[in-house]
Amino acid sequence: MMISKEIDPKRKGISKSLITSAALCNRKGYFSETVRLPDGARVPWRVPEKVAFGAALDEAILHIAIRIREGQEWTQDDAVASGYDYALKKDSQDGIDWGLFRAQLDNAISLFRVDVLREGTDEAPILDFRHCYLQGMDGESLRVGELIGTPDFIFPGEHRENGRTLIVDLKAAARAKSEKDLRSAELSYYAYLWTLHSGGELPEVGYLTYARTAKPRYQLITGPSSGDALLLAEEYVKTTKAILTRSSQEEVGFSTSFCTSCEWRKPIPEASFGGCSVGLLVAADEKEED
């Protein structure tokens, strides 16, 4: 079965990534949905190593999950090659040590076999990939009106002991997650979207995190959604919708906390975008300091 992580660059709608961008800075969200290339596609970015690694890990684990679900054999070398090749196709920033990158990805998949699949032990896997949907509903985004979302894994309640559907987001991060992270904007949004999509089922949500620390490891942290989580998601949705009704960036609020790394702070001629007026000021200040 062909299931791709690729999302249509011309897709429109209120998504997890749009909500989380807007939560960081209203203008980031506004630009990500309103600034487009002439053909209607989103502006592509050169990604840093951590984003490239996360994409590679996602692809490698997707490769494994598909084969587990279909009862097929798989090898670590093939999974790593799948993830590595996927990362190479991305427009990545300069300075990545691709030899080290591949070695770290290989180690991540080796640990996945032990920490998650629990190969070589008598313990059951911490996630049952035999019964799950991948990349939304097997490559199809969940859609309810203008709300869209593509969770990494959905484990249906009929195959779980407690009978509750579990939605899991896969992360590669510099730290493990905490209970507080279960109330994040993205997990609250996924719970909200699933509740609407399913006709009222309140799911469990969680993160499967590969913590890239001095001693790398996987961590699965999950918990039940709540009515408060749905209300929080509704507030994020309302705020994001309100931002998108603005006719210009000057009508949209901003935060300067992320300007130094923001992709919108400078002009993008191919998208006829002159740059964020606030970001341009920060960039000018940095130039003066140099």
Is residue 100 packed enough to be buried (19+ CB in 10 Å), middle (13-18) or exposed (0-12)? exposed
Specify which residues 221 forms β-bridges with. Answer: 207
Q: Which residues does 59 contact at the CB level (< 8 Å), separation at least 6?
A: 5, 82, 83, 86, 87
The reply to whether the predicted model has a pTM over 0.85 is yes
Closest CA to 222 of 138, 151, 123, 141: 151
Closest CA to 182 of 201, 209, 152: 209
Q: What is the pLDDT along the chain (290 residues), one digit of tens a residue?
A: 578 777 788 888 999 999 999 999 999 999 999 999 999 999 998 999 999 999 999 999 999 999 999 999 999 999 999 999 999 999 899 999 999 999 999 999 999 999 999 999 999 999 999 999 999 999 999 999 999 999 999 999 999 999 999 999 999 999 999 999 999 999 999 999 999 999 999 999 999 999 999 999 999 999 999 999 999 999 999 999 999 999 999 999 999 998 988 999 999 999 999 999 999 998 665 555 54
